[in-house]
Amino acid sequence: MIKTLSVATIWVTDQNEALRFYTEKLGLDICADVTNGDYRWLTVGLKTQPDIQFQLAALKPGGGFTAEDVAQLTKLVEAGKMGVGPWKTDDCQAAYETFKARGVEFIQPPTSRPYGTIEAIFKDNSGNVMLLSQDK
């Protein structure tokens, strides 16, 4: 039987830049950084949720992806059609101010939603769109 989800993939255009974004701007921790030949297994995670990691997966041919696959996926990522979320917070406004001061690009500031949340929308440095969410 399946017990938990342990790793979720975030496709990135540059693993080093993504690592800086997720650690320096969002405050996540490095969980794994292992290189084997030209493959790099890179994951980050939250101290408050150690049972899940986020793989910062390089958009490059290999592992079943052709150059055409990578071009299509890169186009989707850079256009903001991919992403992970929502990221939960206790104070959306405070997180928004902190992240904005660190240079995170927001598409939408914290906004009250009729379904019981306050949400802000931001992008990572690859173009992935993320939702920052607070329960009311």
DSSP characters over 12-32: ES-HHHHHHIIIIIS--EEEE
Provide the mean pLDDT of the chain: 95
Dmax (CA) for the chain in angstroms is 50
Q: Domain boundaries in the chain?
A: 7-135
Question: What would the mean pLDDT of 72-84 be, rounded to a whole number?
Answer: 91
Task: Say if CB 130 and CB 85 are below 8 A apart.
Answer: yes
What pLDDT shows up at residue 64?
A: 84
Which fold is adopted by the domain 7-135?
2,3-Dihydroxybiphenyl 1,2-Dioxygenase; domain 1 (3.10.180)
Q: Is pLDDT at 76 greater than 90 in this prediction?
A: yes
Please report which confidence band the pLDDT of residue 63 belongs to, taking 50, 70 and 90 as the band edges.
Answer: confident
Q: Is pLDDT at 72 greater than 90 in this prediction?
A: yes
Helix (H, G, I), strand (E, B) or coil at 81: coil
Tokens 């990135």, located at residue: 12
The C-alpha atoms of residue 59 and residue 135 are separated, in whole angstroms, by 34
With 0.75 as the threshold, say if the pTM is over it: yes
